[in-house]
Copies of this chain bind each other. A is one copy, B any other.
Amino acid sequence: MIYEQSRSGRQATAQTNFEMPALPDIPQELLREQPAGLPEVSEMQAVRHYTRLSQKNFSIDTHFYPLGSCTMKYNPRACNSLASLPGFLSRHPLAPDTHSQGFMACMHELQEILKHVTGMHAVSLSPAAGAQGEFAGVAMIRAYHDARGDDARTEILVPDAAHGTNPASAVMCGYKAREIPTGQDGDIDLEALKEVLGPQTAGIMLTNPSTVGVFERRIKEIAGLVHDAGGLLYYDGANLNAILGKVRPGDMGFDVIHMNLHKTFSTPHGGGGPGAGPVGVSQRLEPYLPVPMVDFDGSDYVWLTEKERSDTIGRLSAFAGNAGVLLRAYVYARLLGREGMHRVAEFSSLNANYLLKRLMEAGFDAAYPERRASHEFILTLKKQAKELGVNTMDFAKRMLDYGVHAPTTYFPLLVPECLLVEPTETEAKEDLDDFVEIMKTIKQEAETQPELVKQAPHTMPVRRLDDVRAARELDLAWKGQE
């Protein structure tokens, strides 16, 4: 803890080696009495502390990280350095257009690239992450219905396998979220869908390939059904990596899509963010896109704001969203180009299908053994849990000991004891082969020394943590030396 190194009066004075001006004109009752209780450390102590702390993390730069639905692929270092050029870092968000053409050119071109690669009619870059993109998308669906006076639509449909943000975003927009079941084969249960569709249906939120890792084959039929019922189709783009340059959501019939640039466009996840969740729309939703957007008027790039776009659902952050993330995505898109984008889907699918095949050969059960994997797939360790008493969480924790970040566990909820595995296209075959060996080893350990696995991890900075205590005896901030 940095606070444990704090000593009263210590300071990193290379930063503040100047006189403290007085504040004579601020009334005393508005001032604080004591400096805030921040740590008092030297610059070196801070550097040493956070350097060492960082070493306690798994990350793409240090470990294979096949976290399903998260697309943890290599984050090119050029994206970081080019988005961090002094000219970009020092640009004030409210700088006039005369001092913004370079930045705006990047944004406009990114809008165009995203439009083409998704097959949508228009794109706004402003949502700060996937969930905010979802919010924007559903809000646009609502604005569309409202504009037509079609205001009895109260429900958004979401598959039971959907990511939690989907129903939560629907609710943020004032809708009820209604679940529809997934069929045995991983596709949506079409009969169930037909039953719930009706005049109360505002739309449906789908991921395709779905979060169970397979391509929804009857997507055109679904689109027809929903549209016929007067609803719109929302595409959760978290899994775009699986189809980039191969199939376009616009061509599948979707009306609105968000993209997780921190997944498909490989901007870093930063230990929790920031991301970027641009939204693309079909023609009929275009008026409602969130502002600001960038337009090109033939000679200059110009901002489109509430003024120019009166039907917009509005503004979702004070300025233009996570600009630095968007710049990173833009650099990535230019590095890859169209050929590179095709290859993303190809090689992420190759890696996933290869890994699935090898794991099945090694005796693991696929949740959907008859299906092609997309860029990810689900294993179910039901058998192991039942026969050996070693569950998915145990497997996951043991993987850490072998230097691999665990895949996503217990999501989607409908598959018991599941592991959602997404190797991504940037991992080499050797790493996949190593992963198979590790899974085999853990399986063997589970058979012969189950306690070893159930007590895992053993080599991390901490052993398994007491989550119950964390929630029950809340300790959310340093309160001083105990």
Query: CB-nearest residue of chain B relative to A403?
Result: B52
CB <8 Å contact, B76 and A48 = no
Using Cβ atoms and an 8 Å threshold, which residues of chain B touch A45? 428
Query: CB-nearest residue of chain B relative to A14?
Result: B335
A474 within 8 A of B: no
**Min CB distance, A441 to chain B, in Å?**
20
CB <8 Å contact, B426 and A44 = yes
Using Cβ atoms and an 8 Å threshold, which residues of chain B touch A11? none
A283 within 8 A of B: no
Contact for A48 among B5, B47, B61, CB less than 8 A:
B61
Using Cβ atoms and an 8 Å threshold, which residues of chain B touch A63? 48
Contact for A51 among B14, B61, B426, CB less than 8 A:
B61
Query: CB-nearest residue of chain B relative to A336?
Result: B14
Using Cβ atoms and an 8 Å threshold, which residues of chain B touch A48? 60-63
Using Cβ atoms and an 8 Å threshold, which residues of chain B touch A25? none
0/1 string, A211-237, CB within 8 A of B gives 1:
000000000000000000000000000
A430 and B62 alpha carbons, distance in the complex (Å): 32
A28 within 8 A of B: no
Given A61-B48, A62-B48, A86-B86: A14 and B428 interface contact (C-beta under 8 Å)? no
CB <8 Å contact, A74 and B44 = yes
A16-75 contacts to B, CB under 8 A, are 17, 42-45, 47-48, 51-52, 55, 60-63, 74
CB <8 Å contact, A74 and B61 = no
CB <8 Å contact, A430 and B61 = no
Using Cβ atoms and an 8 Å threshold, which residues of chain B touch A427? 44
CB <8 Å contact, A5 and B430 = yes
- The oligomer's copy count stands at 2
A78 within 8 A of B: yes
Chain A interface residue count, CB cutoff 8 Å, equals 28
CB <8 Å contact, B426 and A77 = no
**Min CB distance, A69 to chain B, in Å?**
20
0/1 string, A66-96, CB within 8 A of B gives 1:
0000000010111000000010000000000
CB <8 Å contact, A74 and B43 = yes
Contact for A55 among B7, B17, B55, B78, CB less than 8 A:
B55
**Min CB distance, A294 to chain B, in Å?**
26
A10 and B426 alpha carbons, distance in the complex (Å): 12
CB <8 Å contact, A78 and B428 = no
**Min CB distance, A390 to chain B, in Å?**
29
Using Cβ atoms and an 8 Å threshold, which residues of chain B touch A51? 61-62
CB <8 Å contact, A42 and B426 = yes
Using Cβ atoms and an 8 Å threshold, which residues of chain B touch A55? 55, 62
A427 and B48 alpha carbons, distance in the complex (Å): 11
Contact for A43 among B44, B76, B86, B430, CB less than 8 A:
B76
Using Cβ atoms and an 8 Å threshold, which residues of chain B touch A76? 14, 43
A96-139 contacts to B, CB under 8 A, are none
**Min CB distance, A331 to chain B, in Å?**
10
A10 and B63 alpha carbons, distance in the complex (Å): 20
A432 and B430 alpha carbons, distance in the complex (Å): 46
A428 and B77 alpha carbons, distance in the complex (Å): 35
Using Cβ atoms and an 8 Å threshold, which residues of chain B touch A7? 428, 430
A291 and B76 alpha carbons, distance in the complex (Å): 42
A283-341 contacts to B, CB under 8 A, are 335
A426 and B7 alpha carbons, distance in the complex (Å): 15
**Min CB distance, A424 to chain B, in Å?**
10
A61 and B430 alpha carbons, distance in the complex (Å): 33
Given A42-B428, A430-B5: A74 and B62 interface contact (C-beta under 8 Å)? no
A63 and B10 alpha carbons, distance in the complex (Å): 20
Given A14-B335, A42-B428, A62-B52: A74 and B47 interface contact (C-beta under 8 Å)? yes
Subset of 13 A-B contacts with CB under 8 Å: A5-B430, A7-B430, A14-B78, A17-B335, A42-B426, A42-B428, A44-B60, A44-B426, A47-B77, A48-B61, A48-B62, A48-B63, A51-B61
* Interface positions of A (Cβ within 8 A of B): 5, 7, 10, 14, 17, 42-45, 47-48, 51-52, 55, 60-63, 74, 76-78, 86, 335, 426-428, 430
